[in-house]
Structure 1
Amino acid sequence: MALLPGAAASSSRRRTVLGAVALAAAAALLPSHASARPAADAAAGHCARLAQVRVPGAAHQQAACLGELTTAGTVDSGHTDPADWAGLTPKDLAVPSGVPGIQIDGYFPDTSTTNTNHGWNHDAQFVVRLPDRWNGGLVVAGTPGNREQYANDRAIADWVLSRGYAYAATDKGNTGLAFHRDGSRPGDAVAEWNSRLTQLTRAARTVVAQRYRRPPARTVVTGMSNGGYLVRWQLENHPELYDGGVDWEGTLWRSEGPSLFTFLPSALRHYPALAAGGPAADQARAELHRAGFPAGSEFLWQFHHQVYWDLTQRIYREEFDPSFDGVTEAGTPYCAPGSVPGCDADYDYTTRPASVREAVERVSLTGRIGKPLITLHGTLDVLLPIRQDSDVYARMVREAGRGDLYRYYRVEDGTHTDALVDSFPDRLRPLLPCHRSAFTALEGWLTTGHRPPANRTVSRPRNADPATLLTRCRLDG
């Protein structure tokens, strides 16, 4: 496969957490023929004004006229990196096509170098895609986990481009498992995620106006996991830039908790005793339930212990509380409680210095959204347990007096990594079709004023076969 000039294969060797390992998404609710054909725009014409599009503030950019902006064409043309979105969608997901237009790749000024895409070795990379047939809208996204700017290409970009939206995404300013090295003080790396998405949104709105000779009629922000956190933060802090957003199982950061640091250490402490069996197993299971991991999700715990819990705790704790393990960087993998100084299985957020909570406070959420927001979250999420995350955020929104701007859908049998649906088709359902239903519901809310269904748990349809669950998700049932 040909990559963009200078693209480095080494980027595929650095894949992350909170979205690494196969966040497979379920098959798309592809739009109808009518919805997939936006009305012709006055600026129509293949790659019109290619020479005039300039990303404000970019230190470098390269624009290309492409016959296909979706992954049906960008894989072969080298305008995506399959390693960046590998595992985020099921292998049988249909790929829309027939979306010619302009793609702009580049980066904003930055001092960190974790993103090796294109051989640039430069962070704050972005991609902007401008379809020839435009529906008047713009979708912007940040990436899940610590992935790079192409991570959402299959799960989000392909579908919204096929509906006529312009699309822009950012790598959030730092990538990879050592993202916490970016910045000069605790919390800097995550704080940069927010500023980079704000920066990209402003720039992308200008680029849209350059290409189509008018600004976007609506701007929607969306993303999964860490990308969902960005949606929440943007609508709380910069609602003037957006018309609304869809938050797909966003990470919750609160200085007082709950957060990763209040439930993951419990999993690290108690799961080994459960796995070992014996007289301590029942008590260990009870402790995991008490920490927020839902009853009925036990079949997912071994995988998450092996892949997510330990690594997630260590690298994010290093970002906000590097002094916990002294000179050791990001802790000791899979240490038993009390076995080494600074073992993350012993971590107790409530006893850490005030400076740690101050670092988390810099990126904390408040619930004070300023534009319509839809959140969806699976009830069997065992990386960000729903009771410790979106249930709490929904309460925060209500307590902030913003409930009229909010809809919350708890998706029965959904989990954090949709790839696991392929392994457990009789126990899990994918969230991606629900994301597309939520996005469509938001469109109606913004364009016609039709309010989405009330907050609810979206039941798994009884007797629905896996193929049906891969293509449908009704929010009103």
Structure 2
Amino acid sequence: MLPSFLAAVLVIALSPAPAAGAGCAAPTVPGAERQQAACLSDLTTAGTVASGHTDPADWAGLTPAGARNPSGVPGVQIDGYFPDTSTGNTTRGWNHDAQFVLRLPDRWNGGLVVAGSPGVREQYANDFAISDWVLAQGYAFAATDKGNVGATFYRDGLRPGDAIVEWNQRVTQLTRAARAAVKQRYGHQPRRTYAAGLSNGGYLVRWQLENHPELFDGGVDWEGTLWHPAKPSLLTFLPPALRAYPRQAEAEILAAGFAPGSEFLWDYHYRVYWDLTQRIYREELDPGYDGPAEAGTPFCASGTPACDADYDYATRPAGVRAAIARIALTGRIQRPLITLHGTLDTLLPITEDSDVYAAMVRDRHRDRMFRYYRIEGGNHVDGLYDAYPDRLRPILPCFRTAFTALTGWTEHRAVPAPSHTVARPESGDLANACSLSG
């Protein structure tokens, strides 16, 4: 929720858009094979859940139950898709991937926020965590399903890594198209364009700022996934955890990089995340490991032939590293980036992910445009805060504080606090408040 004085400033600053016209006139999204527009009295989830212009299942579990979101943002929503051959996204009965959503508020502040979906979710996955909040500030918002969805996303493409390569291409494609549509709607291109996302969406932020600085002014990376052929990844730390957990070999799980103090989260992650994540991403990047089988055997016991619990990245053929090199990050960011990562992340352990990426950024001498905040008690999905409010803290409010810090940095040269670990408060409304000050 915006403080009242900021809301008053925004009411003055936001410029009215040209009238949408009869029948909900909307801009044409360049390159879209199909688009469908609607003039809505509220583009936030408070309105779109009722009107059918979002899907709550798409963001389930990502945010804490106590989070408060703004509402009452009228404007135009455009749903559509770009040409694609895969058909996993069944939204609106289209059975067509490369779907996107573009939201254009009637009162626009001159900015655009672009996001890719976390995990293998669809285009509405960021609606509660990101879209509602930036729309209330006057930003246009665009999000993509990344071109393939669901637990069989690896079926898309011909070569190992093709599906993830497409993720990056779809964010670039949508950003260019959204910028052009914004110009049609408001009369000029965005004065500022930001990338934002969590998990796989955070990876996409990193990749875009490394590879397409011409499109973005900065980004916020919320626990992005790390890919590099010579660095830790899902394929290096998940197999040891899968081997060790059934034997309750705690020391082995800690040695794989999982944080001391995260033990209470292991059972849930073993059942929900570790096994499935290892198998489907291994299938995408190393399909030859289990021969003609598809994504291995769920929860196989160590010693079972081609069991993902026994996967050893270090001994796999060079072609696997070549596949990861196609999607690799370098740390060579070319626009300001703020990274957030929870110290109790039990899917992407912080020491194996963002700590490593921060070192990559330093090695590339990009520190001046990078801030890294380690969120004490933060976990990979904020929904778990509801089960463990005494041990975890949501990252959602820290993301919003970070986004505000980013815009102050890029637009007003207000340098954010130095990178540091953000202590977990002993009390307070952790679902809605977060200070990143040192």
Please indicate, yes or no, whether the TM-score normalized by the shorter chain is above 0.5: yes
TM-score by length of 2: 0.97
Name the amino acid aligned to 1:431. I
For residues 326-345 of structure 1, the aligned pairs below 5 Å read: 326-338=291-303, 340-345=304-309
Aligned length: 437
Deviations along 1:105-160, one digit per CA (max 9) or x if unpaired, are 10000000000000000000000000000011000000000000001101110000
CA distance in 2, matches of 1:313, 1:294: 19
Deviates more, 1:82-91 or 1:327-336: 82-91
Deviations along 1:58-103, one digit per CA (max 9) or x if unpaired, are 0001111111111111111111112212222233332322211111
For residues 169-208 of structure 1, the aligned pairs below 5 Å read: 169-208=143-182
> Are 1:265 and 1:346, in contact at CA under 8 Å, matched by a contact in 2?
yes
Alignment of 1:351 onto 2:304: no
CA distance in 1, matches of 2:20, 2:337: 34
TM-score by length of 1: 0.89
**Equivalent residue number for residue 61 of structure 1:** 35
CA distance in 1, matches of 2:157, 2:261: 40
**Equivalent residue number for residue 437 of structure 2:** 476
Deviates more, 1:305-314 or 1:82-91: 82-91
Deviates more, 1:85-94 or 1:251-260: 85-94
CA distance in 1, matches of 2:199, 2:22: 36
Which ranges of structure 2 fall in alignment gaps of 5 or more residues?
none
* CA positional deviation for 1:55: 0.3
- Give the 3 Å change call, closer, same or farther, for CA 268–102 of structure 1 in structure 2: same
**Equivalent residue number for residue 136 of structure 1:** 110
Name the amino acid aligned to 1:164. G
Query: Residue 409 of structure 1: which of 347, 357, 373 is its match?
Result: 373
Query: Residue 265 of structure 2: which of 277, 294, 300 is its match?
Result: 300
Query: Residue 117 of structure 1: which of 91, 98, 119 is its match?
Result: 91
For residues 359-438 of structure 1, the aligned pairs below 5 Å read: 359-438=323-402
Q: Secondary structure at the match of 2:8?
A: coil
Q: Secondary structure at the match of 1:37?
A: helix
Determine what percentage of the aligned residue pairs are the same residue.
Answer: 67
**Equivalent residue number for residue 67 of structure 2:** 93
* CA positional deviation for 1:336: 1.3
* CA positional deviation for 1:45: 3.4
Deviations along 1:370-424, one digit per CA (max 9) or x if unpaired, are 0000000000111000000000000000101111110000001111111111111
Alignment of 1:230 onto 2:198: no
For residues 241-260 of structure 1, the aligned pairs below 5 Å read: 241-260=215-234
**Equivalent residue number for residue 287 of structure 1:** 252
Q: Taking CA–CA contacts closer than 8 Å with sequence separation of 6 or more, which of the two structures ends up with the larger relative contact order?
A: 1
Deviations along 1:182-208, one digit per CA (max 9) or x if unpaired, are 000100000000000000000000000
Name the amino acid aligned to 1:54. T
> Are 1:50 and 1:211, in contact at CA under 8 Å, matched by a contact in 2?
no
**Equivalent residue number for residue 287 of structure 2:** 322
Deviations along 1:433-470, one digit per CA (max 9) or x if unpaired, are 10000000001001100110000000112x314xx211
Cα-Cα RMSD: 1.5
**Equivalent residue number for residue 311 of structure 1:** 276
CA distance in 2, matches of 1:355, 1:454: 40
Deviates more, 1:71-80 or 1:380-389: 71-80
CA distance in 2, matches of 1:143, 1:294: 26
Which ranges of structure 1 fall in alignment gaps of 5 or more residues?
1-27, 275-283
